Amino acid sequence: MPISIKNIQKAFGAKQVLNGIDYELEDGGVYCLMGPSGMGKTTLLRILMDLENPDGGDVEGLTRNDIAVMFQENRLLEWMDAIDNIAVMRKGIRDKKLKKEIEENLKLILPADCLHQPVTQLSGGMKRRVALARAMNYPSKLIILDEPFTGLDRETKLEVIDYILKMRGNRILLVATHGVEDAAMLGAKVIHLEELLGVDAQEPDEDDENNILLARDEVMRNMNIFGGIPRERYPEIIQKLGGYEEAYEPNDIVWNQGEGRNCIGIILQGIIQATEMSGKEPQIIQQFRAGECFGEAVAFGEQKSWAEIRATKATRILYLPVDGLMKDMSDCDFTLMKTNLVREMSNKIAILKLKNQILAEPRLRKRILIYLNILPADKAGWKEVPFGQKELAQYLNANRSALSRELARMREDGLIETEGHKVKVLLTINELMML
């Protein structure tokens, strides 16, 4: 029996979002729902999911129990592993036979060593795969996938699409996406929402067509690695490199300690923190903010990460595979980018050398002052400290109480001024070195 969408209407206040939507999803059909941002795609999906009541019209041939959904947010039970996240949805958390079946299925899309880890320990990309597998493993008439390919490179996207098509059986599949190429790879019929609404199609968003990361080109333009490269060439170069983007929520693991990666990361938005987990107390190694690179030593040195890296805020990262960076291209901008990367790595070495200098200094006061002088200052001389006091103590290898007392003494001695998370150092470099 098909699913019939009949004369669906929905308004929010004075804004009419959906006005007379009519469509029929045929049994076994594959569809891609497309339309400009703000057109009403999410609203229509929420009505189909029975999460939003329409102002008028009806959906026939569908109940809430007939639907499996992958949301834009992962909505996983983070303390459970991937297998249990699916088993609990199928009400078989204690069913050993079912869990074995789920495990075998998950091996089609997840590395074996990820299956039994708590989801909180997985990378953002692995979490998205778990969220997808959960939807595909739920018995249903209709599968709804809301932007399932965001942040995936082409190779990974092909793997995911192959998994989706294998797992859907003869169920109706409805995918919300911006990519025309996605529809082609799925063999899907495209539903243009603007046509259903009877409005003129808008010009395609070039950022969406190339990659969502291009919305961050202002960040990239101010980065050393893209220095001297015209911004209009960013999409082309990133595509040639095989670049892709991943999103992380606060406290998400970006890289596990001991994990190898064949790519470098560029922070487009947010903050990540590298922490060494050995010893009695975790030791904060470094923080990276929007516009900074990380992971070069792991990627090019073929070694494992010596630190655990977590997002401390909502974060987006652009990954550039080493294989792409090692390509021999007769392109002056590409060559310039590689030169910039070498310079960036040299700067990193200098920063690590300075960090060793900080830790080697026996006097806590001088450790604090050396660190503060590394931080960039605004025109008024104020420096924003990226750490809370607990994290700063870990970074400086100091006792938190001792750090608090020393900062108070430094204010009393007229060495620093503080204002919230901002600090002004009242010493010149020469005066500092004479301490």
User: Do 217 and 347 belong to one domain?
Assistant: yes
Of 172, 206, 240, the residue that ends a domain is: 206
Looking at residue 205, its pLDDT comes to: 41
Tens digits of residue pLDDT in 310-319: 898 888 888 8
User: Do 194 and 219 belong to one domain?
Assistant: no
Lowest-pLDDT range, 228-237, 348-357, 388-397? 348-357
Which stretches of 50-188 are assigned E, i.e. beta strand?
56-60, 67-70, 142-146, 172-176
Other Cβ atoms within 10 Å of 420 Cβ, number = 8
Residue 254: HSE in the Cβ half-sphere, 13 Å Cα cutoff: 35
State the pairing for strand pair 308-311/253-255.
Answer: antiparallel
Looking at residue 347, its pLDDT comes to: 66
User: Do 339 and 303 belong to one domain?
Assistant: yes
User: Do 317 and 406 belong to one domain?
Assistant: no
User: Do 129 and 60 belong to one domain?
Assistant: yes
Across the range 208-228, mean pLDDT stands at 56
| pLDDT at position 434 over 50 | yes
Q: What's this model's pTM, rounded to 2 decimal places? A: 0.48
User: Do 189 and 231 belong to one domain?
Assistant: no
> What secondary structure does DSSP assign to 356-390, as a single string?
HHHHH-S-HHHHHHHHHHHS-B-TTS-EE--S-HH
Looking at residue 206, its pLDDT comes to: 37
Looking at residue 299, its pLDDT comes to: 72
How far is it, in rounded angstroms, from Cα 92 to Cα 138? Answer: 12
CATH number, residue 106: 3.40.50.300
Residue 351 pLDDT grade (very low, low, confident, very high; cuts 50, 70, 90): low
Contact in structure between 245 and 212 (CB atoms under 8 Å): yes
How far is it, in rounded angstroms, from Cα 239 to Cα 271? Answer: 24
| pLDDT at position 151 over 70 | no
Tens digits of residue pLDDT in 72-101: 777 888 788 888 888 888 877 778 888 898
**Which domain, by its residues, includes 387?**
361-433
Looking at residue 210, its pLDDT comes to: 37
Q: What is the CA radius of gyration of the chain?
A: 26
CATH number, residue 391: 1.10.10.10
How far is it, in rounded angstroms, from Cα 406 to Cα 400? Answer: 10
Across the range 361-377, mean pLDDT stands at 81
Lowest-pLDDT range, 38-47, 67-76, 226-235? 226-235
Distances (CA, A) of 6 to 48, 139, 207, 210: 11, 25, 33, 34
Looking at residue 175, its pLDDT comes to: 92
Lowest-pLDDT range, 110-119, 254-263, 295-304? 295-304
CATH number, residue 294: 2.60.120.10
Count of structural domains, the chain: 3
Residue 7 belongs to what H/E stretch?
strand 3-12
Higher pLDDT, 336 or 200: 336
User: Do 77 and 149 belong to one domain?
Assistant: yes
Higher pLDDT, 435 or 381: 381
For the chain, what is the mean pLDDT?
Answer: 80
Of 312, 335, 354, the residue that ends a domain is: 354
Across the range 111-132, mean pLDDT stands at 85
Tokens for 253, please give them: 């693991």
Lowest-pLDDT range, 6-10, 67-71, 287-291? 287-291
How far is it, in rounded angstroms, from Cα 418 to Cα 134? Answer: 49
User: Do 201 and 244 belong to one domain?
Assistant: no
User: Do 313 and 374 belong to one domain?
Assistant: no
Of 336, 354, 372, the residue that ends a domain is: 354
Looking at residue 217, its pLDDT comes to: 56
How far is it, in rounded angstroms, from Cα 268 to Cα 128? Answer: 19
Looking at residue 218, its pLDDT comes to: 57
How far is it, in rounded angstroms, from Cα 338 to Cα 329? Answer: 11
Tens digits of residue pLDDT in 156-215: 788 889 999 999 999 999 998 876 778 888 888 988 888 888 764 444 343 443 334 444
Looking at residue 56, its pLDDT comes to: 92
